[in-house]
């Protein structure tokens, strides 16, 4: 039985080149699918065992002699690349410095984002982990201010269409159908944000997508883990930072799209999917001179409070 995703229903094919295989057993050790096992010094492939091959690629990348080939579930021999040498990889200090220098950028220079930059961002983000391979994450690219603006206008029109739900008679009528939390979010967040966007729009300022020259919308099918687009979007932001681009995540587009059948249809978003995540990008128009130390709401070492 293979694990179904939106794109694949069947197991990937695993081939072992017996002439190359040394019988070390590492592939079977890391296989959690779990079609691989060892029979003495021989790797055995049994697709009826466990889930069958899900195409995680662990066996291929761990094999010291390149004796394993996996084909299917969007993976093939051409996807197996040489290991980048250690000296070419970011170490903790350089990665941490890159992360520290990232700010959510909302002021963009007039310069467009080159197609090569978009390609690099998508390439780096596609290395992100996913709940179940292969990734169901879909990236909708709005390259150029005009496209971003048109997407933004569609979303904003939908957002303005929600006004009746939190004002006057509408809010009374909707009361029995909306949870207490949703009513609070509508009144305390959606309403003031919509009003602020509208006020800025009257001044000719875009406070929704900040006039960005590039937007990527990360979404996935209903089969995917809802976290998949978020993880991919996070990788994209970090990649953008490494390329000298600024970026900001936007939560509203996903929330709006999730509730609009017409917009989901227009933009090819799965009708039953969870909200995706938009990220805007562009060359920063401001320069940051300092970085911030941030901390989580809590980092609690389990058992520590009882240790004394």
Place of tokens 């990937």: 12
If the CB atoms of residues 73 and 106 are measured against ligand FMN, the closer one turns out to be 106
Strand 36-39, strand 42-45: pairing: antiparallel
Enumerate residues 60-119 that contact ligand FMN by CB under 6 A.
Answer: 103-104, 106
| Pairing of β 277-282 and β 246-250 | antiparallel
Give 250 or 257: the residue with its C-beta nearer to ligand FMN: 250
Least distance (Å) between residue 248 CB and ligand FMN: 5
Nearer to ligand FMN, 68 or 275 (CB): 275
- In angstroms, what is the minimal distance from the CB of 291 to ligand FMN? 10
- Cβ contacts of residue 272 below 8 Å, gap of 6+? 222
Q: Which is nearer to ligand FMN, 69 or 106 (CB)?
A: 106
Binders in 203-262 for ligand FMN, by CB under 6 A:
248-252
Helix (H, G, I), strand (E, B) or coil at 146: helix
Pairing of strands 13-16, 68-71: antiparallel
User: Which tokens belong to 73?
Assistant: 């579930």
Q: Is there binding between residue 185 and ligand FMN (CB under 6 A)?
A: no
Q: How many residues contact ligand FMN, by CB under 6 A?
A: 8
Q: Please, what is the minimum distance in Å from the beta carbon of residue 244 to ligand FMN?
A: 16
Q: Is 250 helix (H, G, I), strand (E, B) or coil?
A: strand
Q: Work out how close the CB of 201 gets to ligand FMN at its nearest, in angstroms, rounded to a whole number.
A: 15
258: Cβ–Cβ under 8 A, 6 or more apart, which residues? 264, 273, 274, 275
Binding site for ligand FMN (CB under 6 A): 103-104, 106, 248-252
């Amino acid at each position: 039985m293979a694990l179904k995703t939106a794109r694949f229903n069947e197991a990937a094919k695993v081939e072992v080149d017996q002439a190359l295989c040394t019988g070390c057993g590492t592939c079977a050790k890391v296989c959690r699918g779990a079609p691989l096992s060892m029979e003495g010094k021989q790797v055995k492939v049994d697709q009826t065992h466990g889930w069958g091959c899900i195409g995680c690629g662990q066996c291929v990348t761990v094999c010291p002699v390149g004796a394993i080939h996996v084909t299917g579930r969007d993976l093939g021999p051409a996807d197996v690349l040489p290991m980048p040498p250690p000296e070419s990889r970011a170490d903790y200090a350089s990665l941490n410095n890159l992360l520290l220098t990232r700010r959510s950028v909302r002021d963009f220079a007039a310069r467009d984002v080159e197609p090569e930059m978009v390609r690099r961002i998508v390439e780096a983000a596609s290395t992100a982990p996913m709940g179940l391979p292969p990734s169901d994450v879909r990236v909708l690219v709005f390259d150029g201010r005009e496209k971003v603006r048109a997407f933004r206008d569609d979303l904003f029109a939908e957002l303005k269409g929600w006004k009746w739900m939190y004002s006057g008679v509408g809010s009374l009528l909707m009361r029995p159908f909306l949870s207490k939390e949703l009513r609070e979010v509508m009144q305390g967040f959606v309403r003031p944000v919509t009003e602020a966007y509208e006020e800025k729009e009257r001044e000719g300022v875009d406070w929704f997508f900040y006039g960005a020259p590039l937007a990527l919308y990360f979404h996935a099918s209903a089969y995917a883990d809802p976290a998949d687009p978020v993880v991919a979007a996070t990788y994209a932001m970090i990649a953008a930072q490494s390329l000298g681009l600024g970026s900001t995540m936007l939560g509203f587009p996903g929330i709006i799209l999730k509730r609009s059948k017409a917009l989901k249809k227009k933009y090819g978003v799965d009708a039953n999917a969870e909200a995706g995540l938009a990220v805007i990008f562009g060359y920063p128009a401001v320069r940051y001179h300092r970085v911030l130390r941030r901390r989580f709401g809590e980092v609690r070492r389990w058992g520590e409070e009882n240790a004394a």
